Structure 1
Amino acid sequence: MDKITQNPLKTLYLLRHAKSAWENPSLSDFDRPLNKRGKENLPGLANLAAMLNSPPELILTSPSRRTLDTLTGFCRGMSTLFKIEEEKELYHASKEEILSRIQEVPEKIQTLLIVGHNPGLEEFISWILAGSIVSIPLQITTGSFVQMNLNISLWSEIAPETATLQLMIPGRFSSKLSK
């Protein structure tokens, strides 16, 4: 077992919003709600949240309706207190914007959850895992959850090869986590 797996100093969770509805053309992209399948995934995401050994101390989320609805479902599974910050910069953020925001997280925070959108999340995950054992491109579908352990003391130290993928649950499987 390598050092990162044995003693991670930080934990990063990433959650892509659940499947959203497209039927109402009068709604902006920002205001689109979850569709039936997206709503059906929420109990599984709540169960996943309940199983986390280290719940997030800080949650940074895009303020779009679909990300907030997804986060609400996910948080139903957590019994601990945490801080949520809605950040408009995370709405369709690029890999670089996600990285920049993570680097600003206070040192005292050990576990962080980012809730956002593709392609930024997928590009960030591929970038941070570059050089690790993950050599195939990861597809972060709607409702997907990723956990990485980071061998860093400060969030500003995040870089490729500092992360180890611990868990990836594609969105289509999250509904199977329901009780």
Structure 2
Amino acid sequence: MKFKTVLRSEKKRLLICRHAKSSWLDTSLNDFDRPLNKRGERDAPDMGRRLLQRGIRPDLIMTSPAARALGTAVHYAGQLGYPLEQVQPNPILYAATVPVLIKIVQEMAPQVNTLLLVGHNPESTALANTLGGLAIDNIPTSGIVALEFAMVSWLELAAGKGTLLFFDFPKKQE
């Protein structure tokens, strides 16, 4: 009897991204439908380029379906050469609590080794702090916290288990 060998990484990377700056110009729009403003349209592609320069190649981009988050995810995908039709909106991400976000990540397929998650604050900051044992006051708009986990399965994801790879945002000077 032959067994098929499945290569599984012993490391997982989670990129927690806060959506880019959104517009408040049209007060008739509800919160969910607010688009990116000019700064957001500039910063999101720039942050996508920074990810590319770091050699980041997500296996999955999952995003809140809110207009500003989806727009951010599309910009990241475009810069990273990630197929736009594979960007995965998840309605639960729009107003998820940290325990719900952790559960969503724990349910990732084993072949996903690098997950780019685009969401909202304060949940994005709280998730990064919880998983990485960090003390970040606030992930700015378009900010990205990258954590690495020494684990084979996302099911092993737990508070404090992440190692900070980087924390980047548009106004950060390298």
Q: TM-score band (shorter)?
A: 0.7 to 0.9
Match of 2:127 among 121, 124, 127: 124
Aligned residue pairs: how many? 165
1:50–1:77 contact (8 Å) kept in structure 2: yes
- 8 Å contact from structure 2 (residues 21, 40) kept in 1: yes
- Give the TM-score normalised by the residue count of structure 2: 0.86
| 1:49 positional shift | 2.9
Q: Provide TM-score, normalisation by structure 1.
A: 0.84
Does the 8 Å contact 1:20/1:34 carry over to 2? yes
Report if the CA contact (8 A) 1:57-1:81 is conserved.
Answer: no
Residues 77 and 83 of structure 2 are in contact (CA less than 8 Å); yes or no, is this contact kept in structure 1? no
Pick from 22, 28, 31: which aligns with 1:29? Answer: 31
Aligned to 2:154: 155
Q: Is the 8 A contact 1:147 1:165 kept in 2?
A: yes
Please report the RMSD computed on the Cα atoms of aligned residues, expressed in angstroms.
2.0
CA distance in 1, matches of 2:10, 2:54: 15
Give the whole-Å Cα distance in 1 for the aligned partners of 2:171 and 2:28.
28
- Residue 110 (str. 1) matches residue 113 (str. 2): yes
Native 8 Å contact 1:60 1:114 kept in 2: yes
Runs of 5+ unmatched residues, structure 2: 1-8
Contact 2:146 2:167 in 1 (8 A): yes
Q: 2:44 is aligned with what amino acid?
A: L
Q: 1: distance between equivalents of 2:62 and 2:75?
A: 15
Counterpart amino acid of residue 130 in structure 2: W
Provide Cα deviations, 1:76-114, integer angstroms capped at 9, x if missing partner: 211355832111000021111110100100112111110
One-letter amino acid of the structure 1 residue matched with residue 43 of structure 2: N
* Structure 1: 5+ residue stretches without partners: 1-6
Match of 1:53 in 2: 55
> Which residue identity does 1:151 align to in structure 2?
A
1:141-160 C-alpha deviation (Å, 9 max, x unpaired): 11101111111111011112
Runs of 4+ off more than 3 Å: 80-83
Distance 1:137 1:54 in 2: 22
Match of 2:75, SS state, is: helix
Residue 44 and residue 105 in structure 1: after superposition, are their counterparts in 2 closer, same or farther (change >3 A)? Answer: same
Q: Could you report, residue by residue, the CA deviation over 1:22-55 in whole angstroms, capped at 9, with x for unpaired residues?
A: 1211101000011121112133123113224241
Residue type matched to 2:76 in 1? F
